[in-house]
Amino acid sequence: MTIWKSVLAGNNKPDPRLNPWRDDLAAAHLRGDVDAPKYVEGVTRQISSPVASLRRSPADGAMQDSQLLYGETFRVYDEKNGWAWGQAERDDYVGYVPTNAFDAPQKVTHKLTALRSFIYRDADIKTRPLMAVSFGAQLSVSGHSDAFAELAHGGFIYTPHIGALDAYESDAVAVARRFIGAPYLWGGREASGLDCSALVQAALMACGHACPRDSDMQEIALGSKTKQAQYGDIVFWKGHVGFISGDNLLLHANAHHMAVVEEAFDAACARIDAAGGGGVTAIKRL
């Protein structure tokens, strides 16, 4: 159990976003914490599509709560009618993922450090790309060919666009700034579309910090409260989050601009309050 799961599970029932349990079954590790007629050990699968939606229910039109990036793993506890129910192993989020997004797991050795990059059929930029993957994608490198890394699941990726799993950035705001202009997408976690909490999560994880998925989880789990905001602090409203990126500057993905933007902090505060979002609920410092 992660640190933030322990915090959020402090009430009568574990948070269903982070704990895989339903009326008909639950993960085996929840035995004793929740009542279920059946407990399942589960099996780990790996995402082989560029990105996969994690939905609230097993239907294409269901709410997208999050996404899984290429190479991330998912613990499956139930599978039927083309949908797998389980838990993302990177941030513990629970939901339904299409079964056609999976492949057999390979050991992850690298991660994508470029905002976006192509996986090519051959080690040649003139060959047809198989897919495009986003920042943070998990890669299983099996070999190298000139300027390309060969992937265990097939295909080649430009070597300067990848880094070792244990190579971390030092400035989360600088990481988040790379996403400026990326479109806002509810539940999105990739460079072609992401939401406010996903931006914070991606930037912090790139710097080696564990970070839960949703803004309310982040407000509970991350850092310590401070009253005097400074560069790198994380600022929260009810249902929203962003980075203090400079003197009176806020960097955030938001549904007003429908993009990741950097703007005046006081202007953003006034707009969020006027729209019914209320005032700042916390400023946290790691």
Q: Is the pLDDT of residue 145 over 90?
A: no
Q: Identify the burial level of 225 via C-beta atoms within 10 angstroms of its C-beta, where 0-12 means exposed, 13-18 middle and 19 or more buried.
A: exposed
Encoded tokens for 263? 């703007």
Q: Is the pLDDT of residue 10 over 60?
A: no
Distance between CA 129 and CA 142 in Å, rounded?
A: 19
State residue 1's pLDDT score. Answer: 40
Catalogue all structural domains in the chain, each as residue range(s) with its CATH number. 3-103 (2.30.30.40), 110-164 (2.30.30.40), 172-285 (3.90.1720.10)
Mean pLDDT of 137-154: 94
Mean pLDDT of the chain, nearest integer:
95
Encoded tokens for 109? 């050795």
Mean pLDDT of 88-114: 97
Mean pLDDT of 21-29: 96
What is the dihedral angle through the alpha carbons of 128, 133, 138, 139, rounded to the nearest 10 degrees?
A: 10
Q: Is the pLDDT of residue 12 over 80?
A: no
Encoded tokens for 75? 């613990």
Q: Is the pLDDT of residue 128 over 50?
A: yes
Termini Cα distance of the chain: 21
Q: What is the pLDDT of residues 201-251, one digit of tens each?
A: 999 999 999 999 999 999 999 999 999 999 999 999 999 999 999 999 999
Mean pLDDT of 91-99: 98
Model pTM score: 0.95
Mean pLDDT of 109-121: 98
Is the CB of residue 242 less than 8 Å from the CB of residue 184?
no
